[in-house]
């Protein structure tokens, strides 16, 4: 059972109720709820959370929270820690100017 399905059942709503509240087709909603969509649109999840009265993160499946590269054909190099501390001119943000 997905987290979305669990929340819907606890709220005693039908799939048709949720699809209408979210503004998507019943088929699209069923794919979300069954976990067939492994990369669901955030807008759909936010609308589901609003309809269910919960936080969007309450509906996130654990597998969605793991890092996945955009292009699986080539490996993604690790981002150096210093990357986040340097602006576009190469100046470090953490040192006085």
DSSP 32-77: HHHT--SS--HHHHHHHHHHHTS-GGGG--GGGGS---S-TTSPPP
pLDDT digit string (tens) for 15-69?
A: 999 999 999 999 999 999 999 988 899 999 999 999 999 999 999 998 888 877 6
End-to-end CA distance of the chain: 54
In this prediction the pTM is 0.67
pLDDT one-digit tens code per residue, 74-92: 766 666 666 666 666 766 6
Structure tokens at 44: 């759909």
| Homologous superfamily in CATH for domain 3-63 | lambda repressor-like DNA-binding domains (1.10.260.40)
At 65 the pLDDT is: 82
pLDDT at 1: 93
Q: What are the sequence ranges of the domains in the chain?
A: 3-63
Q: Is 32 exposed, middle or buried (0-12, 13-18, 19+ CB in 10 A)?
A: buried
Residue 97 has pLDDT above 90, yes or no: no
């Amino acid at each position: 059972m997905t987290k979305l399905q669990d929340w819907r059942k606890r709220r005693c709503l039908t799939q048709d109720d949720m699809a209408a509240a979210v503004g998507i087709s019943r088929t699209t909603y069923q794919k979300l709820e069954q976990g067939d969509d492994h990369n669901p649109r955030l807008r759909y999840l936010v609308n589901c959370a609003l309809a269910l009265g919960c936080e969007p993160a309450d509906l996130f499946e654990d597998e969605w929270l793991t890092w996945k590269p955009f292009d699986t054909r080539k490996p993604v190099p690790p981002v150096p820690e210093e990357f986040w501390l340097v602006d576009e001119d190469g100046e470090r943000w953490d040192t006085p100017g």
